[in-house]
Structure 1
Amino acid sequence: MQILKITSKIALFGAVLFLQACAAQSQLIEDEVETVTKEDLRYYLYFPEDYFEKPEKDFGLLLFLHGGGESGRELLHVKKNGPPKLLVEGKQFPFLILAPQNPHEKKWWNTQAVNQLLDSIVDTNRVDKNRIYLTGLSRGGSAAWEMATQYPDKFAALAVVCGMAPLPYAHWIDKNMPIWVFHGDKDETISVGESDRMVEKLKEMNYDVKYTRYQDVGHNAWDRAYTTDSLYTWMAKQKRIN
């Protein structure tokens, strides 16, 4: 297990409004402040079997973002679902897998911190920057949509499982990035309508999007989605077009 402290620096160019009580006038004064956000991110990092046997080869990397039930400070919880669970069961993957943990049980993912973690892992390992894949389930699926909109030049493929979708910003996503969406039609936590509308919007804009809509499946659509072997063969074939 590795723990990486992520520090984010954001320059805010804003206006500070000073309302003066005098009868003369109010003054609108420009100012600037630098804020610092810190996040401790624990994570698992998986290396394919031949990573150390082929030092001349660069590999793809899959970033996996878990759901709300795995959040907190017990890293073992990350192994409950998705690719980490499959790794525990003995499945092998042809690419690295980065699985961080959201340390906050009742907060959204800090996607800026996740992005910095991802950059650090990519820079310190033999990762092909044109073959970085992104996936997430539930709250992590929502974060995956967010990262796809905020960092459209980074990912070669996106797979979202039962996540809330940023419909108004669908056009921010890289049009050359293939997308695969999974959702259960009986989901009572995050409505299947989130995925229905997002997929419809993406198709209207001629995005390359696949949709697996499970019948009589609730919020645990990830049980079926992540055991779909064709998902990983599909991912491994994708490469960013620069």
Structure 2
Amino acid sequence: MRIILIILLSTLFSSVLLFSQSETKSFYNNVNQGYNFLLNIPDEYKNSEQKTPLIVFLHGFSLSGSDLNRVKKYGVIDAILRTNINPHAFVLAPQCPRGEHWNPDKVLNVMKWIKANYNIDSSRIYVVGMSMGGYGTFDFVGKYPDEVTAAIALCGAGNEKYAANMAKVPLWIMHGLADRDVPASRSKGIENAIKKDGRLNYTRANYFPGLNHADMVHVFYMPVMYKWLFQFDRTEDSKMNINNYEITLEDFHKRPIDGSYGAFGKEINMNKDIKIDSLQNTFHAKKQIEKKEIKKSKNIYLVNQGDTLYAIAKRYNTSTAKICRLNRIDENSILQIGQKLIIK
């Protein structure tokens, strides 16, 4: 009898991530000083007044624009729609306009609108993002740590001035060591800043040999990602679970086609359907150049290895659209090492 009970409980736990019958709605111009957004509403919410968790998904550069259908190309909502993953939570997926980067204040305004219109469990709000969305995740957690229960930042970077605030939140950093678009050193810099001088923190980090920028998208299709997030509930005791669950290099090489892991195999051609968020890949340059200190004048920036338009714009507090306009280039232009860009 005891064995049967254990099996039943195990089955119930596993079902937390299975068999989604959710509804995805599009919202345009609903939030002043906010973003257009998709909202995935779990099926059980329609028949319950129980407070429900919220996952905020911040996309990368390639999904920016004004068409919310682009936000379904990869990430949490795609995992729900195209696989059997069901986190039993609201999923908020705002869309950043092309040429801009994530603004924590605007993300917060959208989140407040969701909380005002739906019965959200404020003790269980989770933020995840990749590439530009990884930048956005670091910045949002850093500026508004009291709004976040736990977060995952994939192949991103952030502002070290927020390190003390980021230390307060369970944060899982992941980055591929073969990333040619956003070097893993960017994530390591944030990790080191958070852990500086032995500061109390709830941060863990994994750096995966051989994985590139696009490979990190696989994490959204792993049930373990959601299990790790949902163990946190704002209590100090739950923060002690930071090292529970593992994602290994081997997990990234799995390609089942039954939907139990993610939308891979025959369902999705990763190289075709998942666009790398960076605008360029300077590691394919004929000559390898040692990384140098930024060379600049008042108005000119010299492109270095690993630079992207997004990263340059963020560094100089401007926009990719403005840089493109000043230099008469397209946002999809390939940057070259040594190329001179007018910044301001």
* Same fold (TM > 0.5): yes
- For residues 209 and 81 of structure 2, what CA distance do their matches in structure 1 show? 28
Query: For residue 193 of structure 2, what is the aligned residue in structure 1?
Result: 201
Match of 1:48 among 28, 31, 42: 42
The residue that corresponds to 2:159 in the other structure is 166
The aligned runs of 1:71-150 (5 Å cut-off) are 71-90=64-83, 91-103=85-97, 105-150=98-143
Match of 1:4 in 2: 29
State the match for 1:188 in structure 2.
Answer: 180
SS at structure 1 position matched to 2:32: strand
Query: Unaligned 5+ residue runs, structure 1?
Result: 9-38
What percent of counterpart residues are identical? 25
**How far 1:73 sits from its partner (Å)?**
1.2
**Unaligned regions of 5+ residues in structure 2, if any?**
1-25, 237-344
Distance 2:167 2:205 in 1: 18
Q: Secondary structure at the match of 2:225?
A: helix
How far the C-alpha of 1:221 sits from its partner, in A, is 3.5
Query: Is the 8 Å Cα contact of residues 167 and 202 (structure 2) preserved in structure 1?
Result: no
Q: Using a 3 Å threshold, how does the CA distance of structure 1 residues 174 and 4 change in structure 2: closer, same or farther?
A: farther
Conserved? CA contact 2:54–2:125, under 8 Å: yes
User: Measured at CA, do residues 174 and 7 of structure 1 come closer, stay the same or move farther in structure 2, by a change above 3 Å?
Assistant: farther
Give me the whole-angstrom Cα distance separating, in 2, the residues matched to 1:197 and 1:164. Answer: 8
Give how far 1:122 is off: 1.0
Match for 2:129: what amino acid?
G
Question: For the Cα contact (< 8 Å) 2:101–2:132, is it kept in 1?
Answer: yes
SS in structure 2 at match of 1:52: helix
Q: 1:214 aligns with which of 208, 211, 227?
A: 208
Distance across 1 between alignment mates of 2:52 and 2:231: 12
1:7 is displaced (CA, Å) by 2.8
TM-align CA RMSD: 1.7
Secondary structure of the corresponding residue to residue 44 of structure 2: coil
> Separation in 1 of the partners of 2:73 and 2:208?
21
Find the residue that maps to 2:128 and give its secondary structure.
Answer: strand
Task: Name the structure where helix makes up a greater proportion of residues.
Answer: 2
Following superposition, the deviation at residue 174 of structure 1 comes to 5.2
Aligned structure 1 segments of 4 or more residues deviating by more than 4 angstroms: none
Alignment CA distance shift 1:171-1:96 (3 Å): same
* Secondary structure at the counterpart of residue 55 of structure 2: strand
Shift of 1:119: 0.5
The one-letter code matched in structure 2 to 1:201 is A
- TM-score normalized by the length of structure 1: 0.80
Q: Structure 2 CA distance, aligned partners of 1:5 and 1:113?
A: 12
| Paired amino acid for 1:43 | F
Q: Contact conserved, 2:176 with 2:216, CA < 8 A, in 1? A: no
Structure 2 Cα separation of the partners of residues 180 and 220 of structure 1: 18
Work out whether 1:226 is the aligned partner of 2:220. Answer: yes
Structure 2: which amino acid aligns with 1:179?
A: L
Secondary structure of the structure 2 residue equivalent to 1:194: helix
What's the CA shift for 1:74?
Answer: 1.6
- In 2, Cα distance between equivalents of 1:200 and 1:225: 23
1:5 CA displacement: 4.0
Distance, in Å, in 1 between the alignment partners of 2:76 and 2:32 is 27
TM-fit CA distance, 1:241: 3.5
CA contact (8 A) 1:153 1:174 kept: no
Residue aligned with 1:148, SS: helix
User: Which of 1 and 2 has higher RCO (CA within 8 Å, sep 6+)?
Assistant: 1
Q: How far does the alpha carbon of each residue in 1:28-81 deviate from its partner, in whole angstroms, 9 at most, with x for none?
A: xxxxxxxxxxx5x221111222112222x1011001100000000121111111
Deviations 1:88-113 (A, max 9, x none): 2132112110001112x221123212
